[in-house]
Chain A
């Protein structure tokens, strides 16, 4: 399949819901593409309250839940649309699905479920997460569009653990992949995907919003540690709390703040209590960007001791704000923070090691600390800004032949 380089290309972006105001990555990506002359159509599985003020056209999948009658009616309507409005594409889809080994019943079901994706013409159909492409592997080809898939971390590393071989069919298709780090690229290549079909585009942040203060913070009597993360096991917060216990046992005067909410609240709260860290750890819940910035501004060391991590925008934001960052070596993190240059990278799942590194950092001369901060600020500013990301996505859709 060869690409045509023309303006006003239409990108169909497939997501679960329209991104919220705080989900800056997709919002930035969409506005960047629009600025570069692309038209973007968003295909989503579920309606949300943000749909009306969203700055591009949104196509929402029919709701197949609810009563049996409703399901039957929506299914019938979708099938009718396929047969009447796009019969050729539907026939092509059914034929491709047959080649992929699906039974007639499965083919029809998948056609009905994917009908909304046929509704608009697009040049590229880009699945925003790998797991959104499952059961839709033949849609782009049937539509006559190119197919792109972004792997963002847990979709690549965790989904196959729950649904074995879920990407088997996808990896046989002509797809251009977007990944967040070189390590992830290597891991995708292990599935026999050609080097040139995978493009690394790292996340980017708004560097004029997340900006370091003129004068770097000097660490006060109580060292302030902070993490911004969803309360999820993959963020390694339990290992981090165990490291905090080591710090407390070694009589380090510190306070640790976690910003974020999530399903593991009970586990984390219990660990704080059991490790007797109630006076040393604060859970602030989910905060707005402005408030996150305030918290970062008054902190000294940022910790991202994840077990699994695609790349991590929060670590970029912390570096841009001039915090010293200690991260684990989970997937993309060691490309996000360069060990001993822009922060410190240490092996995951070893709380003693994390605590030891924090103590070591506290003992470093100010000149060394400031040099690390300065290098991190410059690197994020130069390499992880939105302009660079927008240019990379423009190139992604423009100059590419799928091998």
Chain B
């Protein structure tokens, strides 16, 4: 019987973010053995039998136990490998117990593919190549889009290590292009768009709101460009538009609270805390428009979700958004850092005739079904694992 390919999906945390969990669960439906290394954030994450957890709780005792177990196994059965890794760690100044508790289990299990989710961790994991493990790196938002711009050392690390990575998964063509700037060979990058399994509720999409409801979803980080969205609200208010704008995930931002007060928008703008996806989904479905005001993005999952839920989307032309949205066909695009442009698009959308609105919503829904289904993403990822060649 052919042995299953062993794929390590590494983010460090178990469970990980929503989109990485979607990837893990999708892969676990295929004929693969999925390995998750790292530390357990919850005691009993539920996965199917194809997922092997090699994890420890974040306590000193658990870490020591974990380290002892894998040190013993390596000393007894794979001493040469251990010695080789120790020597690499010494050379790269990583020869600490904290690092070894992460590395030894991976060395012992030796997956066929080590799929690293965060580019900033590349210098920690480049050693896996010395042991014949295929190294694949996901190119995701902050790690590529802005961190290396502000952090020159990180940019240098990328430039020196990206040429040695066997394969890259890019969440958009735009982010692939960014990675090429740091030495990622173009022919080793495969764009695999996010996939999701989100469907509209049966009672969704009543468009009879008296007030035009706009919603944004995401943490209160400057990259989300919420200050431009709030400046847009001032323009809408001055134009006497009857609207309400809600930012889910923005309630902890003093900057945004100040701006709302300063511009006298308390009656129009509301900041809410983070919520479970079920509630977020219901919010999106009840809204007339999902707004993405980001100054940079990979491809924002929340836009894909809104399209799947048949809610109109207006996004800034940031990062990979133009790869998803064809203006006036399946959504709207606006220039980045431009409240005037955002406001004029919103006014256009408010005036949209019902049949045109329905056709845009239908196109958006179709687009997601054609390009962003979970199985499409998993097929793409499996092809990446299979077709990537180990580079020396």
Q: A-side interface residues toward B, CB under 8 Å?
A: 157-158, 161-162, 233-234, 238, 242, 264-267, 269-271, 273-275, 307-308, 349
Contact = CB atoms under 8 A, between A and B. Distances in A.
B254 A162 contact: yes
Contacts of B227: 233, 238
Given A266-B147, A267-B222, A274 B258 contact: no
26 contacts: A157-B258, A161-B257, A161-B258, A161-B261, A162-B254, A162-B257, A233-B255, A234-B255, A242-B337, A266-B146, A266-B147, A266-B150, A266-B151, A269-B149, A269-B150, A270-B146, A270-B223, A270-B295, A270-B296, A273-B149, A274-B295, A274-B296, A274-B336, A307-B259, A307-B262, A308-B258
A158 B150 contact: no
Interface in B249-289: 254-255, 257-259, 261-262
Contacts of A274: 295-296, 336-337
A287 B233 CA distance: 38
Given A234-B255, A273-B149, A307-B262, 4 more contacts: A161-B254, A266-B146, A267-B222, A271-B295
Query: Interface SS of chain A: helix, strand, loop or mixed?
Result: helix
A264 B222 CA distance: 9
Interface in B331-346: 336-337
Contacts of A265: 150
Query: Interface SS of chain B: helix, strand, loop or mixed?
Result: helix
B149 A158 contact: no
A235 to B, nearest CB: 11
Nearest to A350: B231
A305 to B, nearest CB: 14
Nearest to A278: B149
B385 to A, nearest CB: 33
Contacts of A271: 295
Interface in B84-116: none
A161 B146 CA distance: 29
B392 to A, nearest CB: 34
B149 A307 contact: no
Contact of A270 (B149, B258, B261): B149
A399 B255 CA distance: 39
A158 B258 contact: yes
B174 to A, nearest CB: 13
Nearest to A241: B337
A349 B231 contact: yes
A374 to B, nearest CB: 34
Nearest to B151: A266
Nearest to A161: B257
B389 to A, nearest CB: 34
A242 B146 CA distance: 18
Contacts of B147: 266
A104 B43 CA distance: 38
Nearest to A269: B150
A329 to B, nearest CB: 11
A361 B280 CA distance: 50
Those 7 A-B pairs whose CB atoms lie nearest each other, nearest first: A266-B150, A161-B257, A269-B150, A270-B146, A267-B222, A233-B255, A161-B254
B44 to A, nearest CB: 29
Contacts of A157: 258
Given A161-B261, A264-B222, A307-B262, A270 B150 contact: yes
A106 B289 CA distance: 46
Nearest to A162: B254
Interface in B196-241: 222-223, 227, 231
